[in-house]
Structure 1
């Protein structure tokens, strides 16, 4: 990192970073749904050998200037990134095993004699960026910014087949706009708008192409922030995020030696709209509070199709408060809080189970896995034995609520949240 002050108002910066590493994995895990009668699932062999190199560079000039009686800020820069990743993997079914009394399979030879996946991925990006913060008036600030990507290239080389594919994206400018206005000495409103642009070059409509168009969208937010009292801050924000043309799988087909993915259609549509409310700080010198509530109307749709997943809950509430006694029971503090959320669900299609043949097959049927609304409560108490010694007890999930922290499919991805737990901590400083 190099930084040079040109004068009192302007400076230049140069940041360079090189990172390299590798890792290897030789293991096994159980996948797939558990058979009702045999209680068996499937052991899979998983082997991985990854090496990577990454170089990033960022150079900019930034500072302030006076114009029309106001001081304004400007930053202009260039950044570039180059990545190389050598990736080898084996993912192979080994056999059945009892999911409730698993006997691990024998350890695999490592490194193996061959790899199912053996590829090198290279990507190079370069762009210019800038941000101009204008102050038309003392209380008003207008921000104009953006990023112009003039290089975005990806190369995938399959060492097993010798095939190499390159994907180049068109030059693209992505703008950003924002403003802030001080309503009062302790209250400000703000707004921002940014475009979204995500390339999808390796996703093909047919085996011979073309590639899908990039994901396009926008991110809009505006809100208000205020200081209700000294050290007590409150904020209210409205947000709306939308993405269009996301890849939706039509079928999985082999494309010979190609490293592209087939076949997809750019029909995915995502929407996220809602409000976010926060209150943080001190109600009194001894009483601290943190409250956060988010309402998120989240949709993930195919074009002209119904919503098919909503893993993000519509309502999310987090409250924590802590009170420290100052006279009576001096040195003691007690606190508690709750994390609560509304229903979330995952839907999809799975093969039906035939109890006669003890097999899974046609027809495919729809499913919906749901986690109903739940709340997890926690408590904390602490005592300051001396200015240098403190003891605290945390009780998390005090009612031992059983819930899914994540939900996935019939085969995997369903994980219980943490059960009731206790943590006793003694801290000393000297």
Structure 2
């Protein structure tokens, strides 16, 4: 209760402090001055929003770029005559004259370009090409452009996703960000992305939706772009891994009439259709809508396995007035699949050549699993005045899975495997709320960009993973002497087809929450936090100092008093950024984060929160008028109270594996990113990361010392590249070529001091054609047809049987995808 009172007090201080500033006499005097506004929207010849087009008031220094929806705005203009210029290099400029009256009236001036959306995507504009993004979404709250932000933030644009024919969040998106890897656990449903030495949480529209195993991988049809924030980010949420997070930004109404349909087909019986409808529901343009639909049938390269899914994602936005809007967003994803992941196994080694690339450890006789995932968002945005705005949003998530699970209980060197059959039911409910105020003020020559607000969350999870059978029985085979014996499943020569009477019948008559209550898989976590941040601009905004502080109250509800965990944490943040010139900035950052840890050790003691401290330095530079951008970062992250496995052989309880605390890890590395348009029609995404993450301290009770070992699942060197070129004239006009590579070296699994996973190299290539409203693209993945590319791998230990074996996930062999898009 005291903590809630503190949170409420902090929130009231932030609110009334902001109001006091807003209502000061000087500010009121400034606000009441008759100032005018010139705004509008730029569209292409085929009625598409024209993004990143330069709009300037001739004869002044005022210039802006249109947003993703084609809008621009100039505020706080005194009465007078203005000449509005719209410029796209290589095309005739558009100009109009606007007369602002003394009454401060807003003038809406819109333009239509002579070129199409496809042509606009290929011309050289001042903000860069298809892959460069200058600002983060509003869900990240930051008011400064990425170039001036003292942190490494990389944004994967919707055009990048389209060129790479991405179908969902797990579909190769990490290739576009330095140092990010996907571990592939339950790769049909969950992303499981690691960065800077730890698994990073998933955000959606600025809210931390990380769940026990999830969240469910977002379908690409609902994604506008994906933002990767490196390191802690106290301006978003302090309760998270210090490695950073990724934020999926979903599609919203643009105010334009825009409709498109895409059909895709590919290897392994892949068929997909997606529809994107965007427009107005009222003549006055105040009621807007966006509807995305997708349906997919996708078999896997592994035998019998599949993943079929449906997406329904409607969004309604209502403009109450010119300053206030409310938005309602709903998404529903339904998934039907056969097995949780495309794992292979071996007693001998990872990437065992004797195990076929299409090996499947499940069986077609098993019932498929079903997932239903619902999410609801409500957003409220209000422009308080020219300098300040308020934002609030609430969200509700409801997730359920009804499934079974198969996993080896025994494997010998000859490849003979016994498979355990378990129930795999899950359910989750998450509730979130956020409120924030942001604005810009000046005290003398110092510019202030202020951000203040609160975050609340409640997460509940239930799981029933009880084992029903330690050995799925096969049909018996008759021997020459007339007797029968059970057929053995062998990974080198698998035979499928389980008899019906060998598959346990699962009784689900009792509610999942009741079933989960008797296990360790029933968890409840609550958190609330208040924060404030001020970015001070000196020397005409060339030097920027960011200072922030967040207070977080986090609670994990345990089944015993000892298992209850309540954390009260203050997390400071300080960043410094300096613009050497208009296109170059250097920065330094110190930030903190923490992770509430549920559960107990072998003795029943609750765990302390994991805390992380990040120190990083970087340089960012735009080239050739901002057409492409590069960044380089060095960092060091210390994680204290880290969990390490309990290696005491006496600390076992059936199949339960315990952990101990007081461990520490240190991650440090170098990251280099480059993206944008190198030349007309030539776009590039390239990145490299060196990562060193090692255990620096462990529990004194550990019988096996691990200090000096590399943090499990670390990759020392990661290099990615993606190149796209489209011809813009001549006989090849409209034809595009693209391709990319991924290279991973020095890969570690388990606690070891030497690399123990094979290096990874993959190449992809494609061709496309665009003309008017039609687009056609063909992409070949794994062009070199590598058969042993590992996404993930580990050495599994089964405490019950005292056996060990390798488990790993391989990439599909060579495969292709083809998509046809038509814009209505």
TM normalised by structure 1 equals 0.82
Deviates more, 1:270-279 or 1:23-32: 23-32
The 1:301–1:95 alpha-carbon spacing in structure 2 relative to 1, beyond 3 Å, is farther
Q: 1:392 to 1:64 in 2, by over 3 A?
A: closer
Give the counterpart of 2:556 among 154, 158, 168: 154
What are the equivalent positions in structure 2 for 1:132-171 lying under 5 Å apart? 132-138=534-540, 139-149=542-552, 151-157=553-559, 167-171=564-568
1:182: which partner in 2? 579
- Retained in 2: the 8 A contact 1:283–1:289? yes
Per the TM alignment, residue 143 of structure 1 is displaced from its structure 2 partner at its CA by 0.5
- 2: CA distance between counterparts of 1:399 and 1:38? 29
Q: How many residues align?
A: 397
Q: Which position in structure 1 is the counterpart of 2:714? A: 312
Give the conservation status (yes or no) of the 8 Å contact 1:272–1:299: yes
Summarize deviations over 1:185-214 as a string: whole Å, max 9, x none.
11111221111323346434x6264x4443
TM-aligned CA deviation for residue 153 of structure 1? 1.9
171 and 367 in structure 1: CA distance in 2 versus 1, 3 angstrom threshold: closer
**Which of 359, 370, 376 is the equivalent residue of 2:756?**
370
Q: 1:215 aligns with which of 610, 613, 638?
A: 610
Return closer, same or farther for 1:393/1:17 CA change in 2, 3 Å cut-off: closer
Residue 242 of structure 1 pairs with residue 620 of structure 2: no
Q: What is the aligned counterpart of 1:72 among 448, 466, 471?
A: 448
Contact 1:32/1:412 (8 A) holds in 2 = no
Is residue 406 of structure 2 the alignment partner of residue 15 of structure 1? no
Report what 1:419 is aligned to: 813
Using a 3 Å threshold, how does the CA distance of structure 1 residues 67 and 389 change in structure 2: closer, same or farther? same
State yes or no: 1:81 paired with 2:457.
yes
Conservation of the 8 A alpha-carbon contact between 1:300 and 1:310: no
Choose which of 781, 788, 795 in structure 2 pairs with 1:396: 781
Counterpart contact for 1:40–1:98, Cα < 8 Å: yes
Any stretches of 5+ residues in structure 1 without a counterpart?
A: 158-162, 256-260, 349-365
The answer to whether the 8 A contact 1:287-1:324 is kept is yes
The alpha carbon displacement at 1:176 in A equals: 1.0
Pick the aligned partner of 1:267 from 651, 662, 668.
Answer: 662
Please state how far the C-alpha of 1:107 moved relative to its aligned partner: 4.8
RMSD over aligned Cα atoms:
3.0
Offset of 1:140 from its aligned partner? Answer: 0.9
Matched, 1:118 2:515: no
- The 1:102–1:269 alpha-carbon spacing in structure 2 relative to 1, beyond 3 Å, is farther
Distance 2:429 2:722 in 1: 43
1:337-395 alpha-carbon deviations (Å, 9 max, x no partner): 211111313246xxxxxxxxxxxxxxxxx9988322232111112234x3233332211
Measure, in 2, the Cα distance between the counterparts of 1:88 and 1:190: 48
Partners of 1:70 and 1:135 within 8 A in 2 = yes
User: Shift of the alpha carbon at 1:319?
Assistant: 1.3
CA distance in 1, matches of 2:645, 2:792: 23
Contact kept in structure 2, 1:203 and 1:247, CA below 8 Å: no
Structure with greater proportional strand content: 1
In the alignment, the residues of structure 2 paired with residue 15 and residue 65 of structure 1 have an alpha-carbon distance, to the nearest angstrom, of 25
Task: Classify the secondary structure of the residue corresponding to 1:7.
Answer: coil
Secondary structure of the 2:534 match is: strand
Partner Cα separation in structure 1 for residue 565 and residue 750 of structure 2: 35
CA, structure 1 residues 37+297, in 2 after alignment: closer, same or farther (shift >3 Å)? Answer: closer
Q: Is 1:233 matched with 2:634?
A: no
CA deviation profile, 1:111-161 (whole Å, cap 9, x unmatched): 167947636433222221111111122201111112112x3222134xxxx
Q: CA deviation at 1:301?
A: 5.0
How many Å apart are 1:308 and its aligned residue? 5.0
C-alpha distance 185-94 of structure 1, shift in aligned 2 (>3 A): same
The CA distance in 1 between the partners of 2:509 and 2:426, in whole Å, is 10
- CA–CA separation in structure 1 for the residues paired with 2:426 and 2:677: 51
Partner residue, 2:489: 98
Q: Is the 8 A contact 1:155 1:165 kept in 2?
A: no
Render the CA deviation track for 1:25-66: whole Å, top value 9, x for unaligned: 24241324533347222232224253x333222223322221
Q: CA deviation at 1:84?
A: 3.3
Task: Tell me the SS of whatever aligns to 1:307.
Answer: coil
Residues 213 and 226 of structure 1: CA distance in aligned 2, closer, same or farther (over 3 Å): same
- The CA distance in 1 between the partners of 2:405 and 2:769, in whole Å, is 46
Give CA deviations for 1:200-256 in whole Å, capped at 9, x if unaligned: 46434x6264x444323311222111112131211111122221221223347589x
Q: Distance in 2 between matches of 1:368 and 1:296?
A: 14
Q: Is contact 2:523-2:557 (8 Å) kept?
A: yes
CA contact (8 A) 1:47 1:91 kept: no
Bigger fraction of residues in helix: 2
Query: Structure 2: which 5+ residue stretches go unaligned?
Result: 1-378, 473-487, 699-704, 797-804
What is the CA–CA distance in structure 2 between the aligned matches of 1:254 and 1:313, rounded to whole Å?
31
**TM-score, normalising length from structure 2?**
0.45
CA gap 1:116/1:102 in 2 versus in 1, 3 angstroms? farther
380, 392, 399: which one aligns with 1:2: 380
Range moving further from structure 2, 138-147 or 326-335: 326-335
Q: Determine the structure 2 residue equivalent to 1:54.
A: 430
Equivalence for 1:337: 740
Find out whether 1:192 has 2:589 as its counterpart. Answer: yes
Larger RCO of the pair (alpha carbons < 8 Å, separation 6+):
2
Distance 2:750 2:399 in 1: 37
Would the aligned equivalents of 1:310 and 1:344 in 2 still touch at CA under 8 Å? Answer: no
